[in-house]
């Protein structure tokens, strides 16, 4: 295969992947988006593999994350390049390990594990953790999500794709079957009657840069009975606990609405004058609990990171309140649920000028976290997407983007732990460790090959 053909296949793969994410979100294309990428890699030399990985990564991340330019300007393309390097690492390592002596079955398994391992490292362990734009998050939550999570879904997609491009007919058939199984898992991921028994009424407030009085007015406008009210992240630019007058007004509102809890995005000032981005659970007579944001947003003054993911007992059940970016990662909400959380009530913030594309891409990540742990999730976002998500990851209700308002709905506390919450989450770190071993093996192989004498023609 000549270089122009390989580059054309790489371009086709990147385009298919880009349109599988919001705002278009033609997710079914994610099942085949990486097929041209693997065709381009097959039989390529090391330099060509590097070029394919770099081109694919830059096109994919620049095409999907173009909204980063609104935040960082031209520096956004440096971030795109850093993310693209993980595609380069995959292409180079896989190209080295894909030996002619390997069986087609082994090659597919190496591809799936290596991809999932690099993806997990990039998303959860890397200094600039960034879990957006993966095969697993391109697809909707499905029946496999509470078993193996989004990293496991990515592994299956890449495994099946690698088998599809092999020259072994049995592998090709198995790859097709695997992709069909994923599609069926998505198609049949309906909550049906399973989650219809809902009785806990909740209200989420959407509004960006509103004053305390404006948040109070929106909350006062709630016309239906509600047991929980959630305000967005950074609704208050001060520590509510240091303002007893405002805390008293919130409690008066709660008594008027007969709400048992009100969750507000606030802050905590520490003894050393540092601070943390905090969600405060206000009860009618006391503060019921707090959560300090574990994953502050990179390059922003977003407070000192918290270390815990607590679940707090309240009159309506055990509540966890991981904040915004905490839910981009699999680890924080999973730890909260493992600690006993029966529901996830989330203050969140997406600045309006970050564009519709950013808001829609971010909104999808919450769905995966709900499905991995089988928990109802209510997200109160500053300018959207404010949403209520059922334990299957289906969006039950939402507000229009950028419009202040109140989202009302019903949820139910749940206590059963999924296989993913108990054990399945270990798949990601296990793949990351195996990917590290593969990278070492690739280095050894490259050095060995370099020492071999060249046989003259």
Taking only the tens place, the pLDDT of each residue in 240-269 is 999 999 999 999 999 999 999 999 999 999
Q: How many domains does the chain have?
A: 2
Whether residue 11 is contained in a domain is answered as: yes
Instruction: Please report, for residues 80, 134, 205, 234, 351, the alpha-carbon distance to residue 216 in angstroms, rounded to integers and kept in the order given.
Output: 40, 39, 10, 14, 21
**Claim to verify: residue 65 and residue 184 sit in the same structural domain:** yes
Say if 183 falls within a structural domain: yes
Residues 251 and 328 in one domain: yes
d(CA 439, CA 97): 9
Q: What's residue 244's pLDDT? A: 96
Residue 359 maps to which CATH number?
3.60.110.10
The H or E element containing residue 134 is: none
Q: Quick check: is 239 in a domain?
A: yes
Letter string b/e over residues 434-456, b meaning 16 or more CB atoms within 10 A of that residue's CB? ebeebbeebeeeeeeeeeeeeee
Domain membership of residue 332 (yes or no) is yes
Residue 285 DSSP class: S
**Residue 67: CB atoms within 10 Å:** 17
Based on the domain organization, do 308 and 431 belong to the same domain? no
Q: Indicate if 268 and 151 belong to the same structural domain.
A: no
Shared domain for 58 and 117, answered yes or no, is yes
Q: Are the C-beta atoms of 155 and 119 separated by less than 8 Å?
A: no
Q: Is 249 exposed, middle or buried (0-12, 13-18, 19+ CB in 10 A)?
A: middle
**Do 109 and 36 reside in the same domain of the chain?**
yes
3-state secondary structure of 399: coil
Question: How does DSSP assign 8-57, residue by residue?
Answer: HHHHHHHHHHHHHSTTT--GGGGGTTTHHHHHHHTT--HHHHHHHHHHHH
In a domain, 195, yes or no: no
| Statement to judge: residues 226 and 99 lie in one domain | no
In this prediction, residue 197 carries a pLDDT of 83
Q: Which residues in the chain land under pLDDT 70?
A: 192, 454-457
Cα(32)–Cα(198) distance, rounded to whole angstroms? 38
What's the CA gap between 330 and 369, in Å, rounded?
Answer: 7
Q: Do the domain assignments include residue 248?
A: yes
> How many CB atoms are located within 10 Å of the residue 73 CB?
9
51 neighbors 59 (Cβ within 8 angstroms): no
- Compute the distance between CA of residue 339 and CA of residue 375 in angstroms, rounded to an integer: 13
| In-domain check, residue 130 | yes
Do residue 221 and residue 277 come from a single domain? yes
- pLDDT at 450 (0 to 100): 80
Phi-psi region of 250 (alpha: psi -120 to 50; beta: other; left: phi over 0): alpha
Contact 226, 257 (CB under 8 A): yes
Domain co-membership, 433 together with 415: no
**Claim to verify: residue 233 and residue 378 sit in the same structural domain:** yes
Q: Which two tokens stand for residue 235?
A: 């609704």
Domain of residue 138 covers: 3-189+425-451
314 and 411 share a domain?
A: yes
Residue 267 within a domain: yes
430/416 same-domain check: no
Torsion over CA: 105, 109, 110, 115 (sign): positive
The structure tokens 């407030």 sit at 205
Contacts for 348 with CB less than 8 Å, ≥ 6 apart: 232, 233, 323, 324, 327, 379, 380, 381, 382
- Cβ–Cβ under 8 Å, residues 147 and 374: no
């Amino acid at each position: 295969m000549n270089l122009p053909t390989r580059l054309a296949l790489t371009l086709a793969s990147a385009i298919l992947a880009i349109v599988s994410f919001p705002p278009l979100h033609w997710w079914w294309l994610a099942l085949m988006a990486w097929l041209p990428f693997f065709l381009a890699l097959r039989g390529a030399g090391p330099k060509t593999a590097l070029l394919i990985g770099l081109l694919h990564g830059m096109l994919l991340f620049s095409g999907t994350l173009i909204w980063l330019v609104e935040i960082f300007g031209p520096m956004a393309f440096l971030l795109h390049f850093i993310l693209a390097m993980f595609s380069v690492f995959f292409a180079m390592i896989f190209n080295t390990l894909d030996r002619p002596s390997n069986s087609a079955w082994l090659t597919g398994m190496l591809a799936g594990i290596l991809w999932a391992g690099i993806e997990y490292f990039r998303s959860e362990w890397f200094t600039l953790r960034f879990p957006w734009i993966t095969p697993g998050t391109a697809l909707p939550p499905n029946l496999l999500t509470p078993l193996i999570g989004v990293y496991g879904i990515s592994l299956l997609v890449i495994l099946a794709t690698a088998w599809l491009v092999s020259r072994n007919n049995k592998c090709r058939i198995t790859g097709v079957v695997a992709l069909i199984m994923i599609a069926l898992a998505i198609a049949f991921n309906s909550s049906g009657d399973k989650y219809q028994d809902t009785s806990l009424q909740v209200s989420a407030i959407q509004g960006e840069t509103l004053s305390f009085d404006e948040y109070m007015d929106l909350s006062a406008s709630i016309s239906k009975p509600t047991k929980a009210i959630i305000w967005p992240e950074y609704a208050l630019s001060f520590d509510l606990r240091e303002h007893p007058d405002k805390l008293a007004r919130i409690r008066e509102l709660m008594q008027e609405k007969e709400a048992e809890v009100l969750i507000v995005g606030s802050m905590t000032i520490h003894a050393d004058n540092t601070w943390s981005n905090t969600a405060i659970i206000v009860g009618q007579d006391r503060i019921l609990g707090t959560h300090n944001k574990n994953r502050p947003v990179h390059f922003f003054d977003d407070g000192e990171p918290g270390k815990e993911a607590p679940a707090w007992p309240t009159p309506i059940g055990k509540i966890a309140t991981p904040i915004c970016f905490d839910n981009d990662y699999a680890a924080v909400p999973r730890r909260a649920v493992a600690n006993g959380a029966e529901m996830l009530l989330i203050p969140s913030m997406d600045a309006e000028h970050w564009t519709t594309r950013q808001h829609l891409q971010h909104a999808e990540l919450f769905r995966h976290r709900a499905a991995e742990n089988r928990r109802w999730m209510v997200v109160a976002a500053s300018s959207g997407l404010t949403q209520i998500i059922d334990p299957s990851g289906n969006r039950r209700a939402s507000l229009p983007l950028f419009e202040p308002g109140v989202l009302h709905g019903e949820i139910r506390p749940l206590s059963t732990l999924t296989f993913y919450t108990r054990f399945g989450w270990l798949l990601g770190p296990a793949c990351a460790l195996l990917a590290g071993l593969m990278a070492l093996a690739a280095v050894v192989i490259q050095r060995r090959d370099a020492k071999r004498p060249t046989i003259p023609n």
